[in-house]
Structure formats: structure tokens, C-alpha cells
Amino acid sequence: MAFTRRLLGHGVGLRTKHFAELLAAPPPVDWVEAISENFMTPGGRPVAVLEKVRRDVPVVLHGVALSIGSTDPLSEPYLDQLAALAHRVEPAWISDHLCWGSHGGRYAHDLWPLPYTEEALRHVVARVQHAQERLGRQILLENVSSYVAFRASEMPEWEFLAEVARRADCGILLDVNNVYVSARNHGFDPERYLAGVPADRIGQVHLAGHSDRGAYLLDTHDGEVAPAVWDLYRETVRRTGAVSTLVEWDDRVPPLERLVEESRRARAVEAELLAPGRRVA
């Protein structure tokens, strides 16, 4: 099956702080991304907000608990809940992270990187295929930020990600901030990462802020997008062309208007690069 990119434009994450505004008026963006696990209950205010927003603009479901790289069996109850939510909301797509976050049935509520080995690759591909069959759709997997590497790794992260997408026939959610954070932490060229990821498999882009802790960068999502990440986003757009882009801001969440400003900046960057007559490398 080929992967078909769906263009939604530029969006923001659905956050509790903005619920009242979103109930009062349509979102001032093209689309909204909702954290899947926050809306798996059958009722309540969050679900009411999500359903109202969904009537106004497209919605994407973005999960944090699939744990696609874990050695624990995939949680069938979790997949049942996710499938039910997707049936209610009819999202443009569903995404999660290329990572693991559970062991022995216990969830750590964290996104841990994988060893990039052929064995891990086969393991992840089989689980992605199962999840896609259960959900009846292709999913997108996001690269995570990392702070340690495994000695056992046999290939770079971008090659692993590309092979998962190819073998499992899924899409990629390219988090440009995570590429930059990991590149700084591990000492590789972020543009080499971009060059190694198949542009035709990138269905969505994330932009976010990070914190400089001196010896390392920490993916915090608590501020505006850094200049170096904007530069890397420009390079991404040169490679992908138009791609659905979302600004994540999860901590110290600003007023909705400020978040929308960041989203509009991404729109302006894309428009500048893809203006008629301008060559995209």
C-alpha cells in the first residue's frame, strides 16, 4: 500500500487551558491535534470539547502510550479504546511514538528510545502491522528525542525509522525539534537525519521548544520554537514540500493567541519557501 499524504495546513495542540475559548468559537487554525489518551472516556467535558472542535476543523489523534517498541504484548484493551475513539471522532490520522515506555505491564509514562538493530526492527514492524490491522488504517510514527544511545545499535536512527515506515507501510510524524535535540545530544548532523528519512512518508511535522541544560538539550515543549529549529524546518519543507505542521506547547502553556502566532509563523515559512517561481531543492 502506498502512503498518501493528507494536507491539513497548520495547527495546534488541544490543551485544557484553551477549552473555554474553543467552546465559544471555532479554532483560529486549520486543524487540531488531540492527545488520544485524554479522550478515551465515553463522556465528560474533554470529550464534549473534542466533539465540538471536530465539528469545526479536522482533528488528529496523537498517542503517547502505544509503546510500539516494548517487549510487552500490545495492549488489546488500549487498541479497542483507541479504535472506539477513532470511530467517534473520525480523525484525519492517528499517530504515536517510535519508542517503548512499558515493561512487565507497568507504564513509565515516558518515551524511551530503542536499540537500532535488525532484531528490534523486525519486532517493531510486526507490532505496527498488527496495530494498523486492528485500527483499519495506516498510522504515523514519531521520532523521539533521546539522551542516551545503545552500544548494540547497528544503524543510525534515521535509517531505522525509514525502514520501519517502509516495511510496516506506515507514515512518519517528523518532529523537527526532536531531530535537533538528539543531534545536539549525540553529535550528528541534523540535516543528515533529514536526508535519510523518505520525504514521501512524512505525513506530519511537529515543531516545539526545548531547554538548553548546558551539557545537553532537553525536549520540554515549554516555550517558543528555537531559531535553529526554524532553520531545520525550512530544510524540511525544502525536502517535503507542503506538509501538515503543528506547534506543540505542553508546559507553561501560553494564551491561545500566542500559540496561534507560532502556528502562523510556520505557515509563513512554508509559504515563503513554496512561493510560485521559487525552486525547492
* pLDDT at position 1: 65
Closest alpha carbon to 254 in 96, 12, 17:
17
pLDDT tens figures, 130-153:
999 999 999 999 999 999 999 999
- Per-residue pLDDT tens listing for the chain (281 residues): 689 999 999 999 999 999 999 999 999 999 999 999 999 988 889 999 999 999 999 999 999 999 999 999 999 999 999 999 999 999 999 999 999 877 777 776 778 899 999 999 999 999 999 999 999 999 999 999 999 999 999 999 999 999 999 999 999 999 999 999 999 999 999 999 999 999 999 999 999 999 999 999 999 999 999 999 999 999 999 999 999 999 999 999 999 999 999 999 999 999 999 998 665 55
Residue type, 279: R
Q: What whole-number distance in Å separates Cα of residue 81 and Cα of residue 86?
A: 9
Q: What whole-number distance in Å separates Cα of residue 250 and Cα of residue 63?
A: 14
* pLDDT at position 101: 78
Strand partners, 102: 107
Q: CA 151: distance to chain centroid?
A: 26
Decide: 48 and 60 in contact? Cβ < 8 Å: no
- Provide the 8-state DSSP code for 239: H
pTM of the model: 0.95
What is the topology classification, in CATH, of domain 10-273? TIM Barrel (3.20.20)
SS (H, E, C) the chain: CCCCCCCCCEEEECCHHHHHHHHHCCCCCCEEEEEHHHHCCCCCHHHHHHHHHHHHCCEEEECCCCCCCCCCCCCHHHHHHHHHHHHHHCCCCEEEECCEEEECCEEEEEEECCCCCHHHHHHHHHHHHHHHHHHCCCEEEECCCCCCCCCCCCCCHHHHHHHHHHHHCCEEEEEHHHHHHHHHHHCCCHHHHHHHCCHHHEEEEEEECCEECCCCEECCCCCCCCHHHHHHHHHHHHHHCCCEEEEECCCCCCCHHHHHHHHHHHHHHHHHHCCCCCCCC
Decide: 121 and 160 in contact? Cβ < 8 Å: yes
Burial degree of 193 (CB within 10 A; 0-12, 13-18, 19+): buried
Q: What whole-number distance in Å separates Cα of residue 153 and Cα of residue 75?
A: 26
* pLDDT at position 108: 66
Please state the domain extents for the chain.
10-273
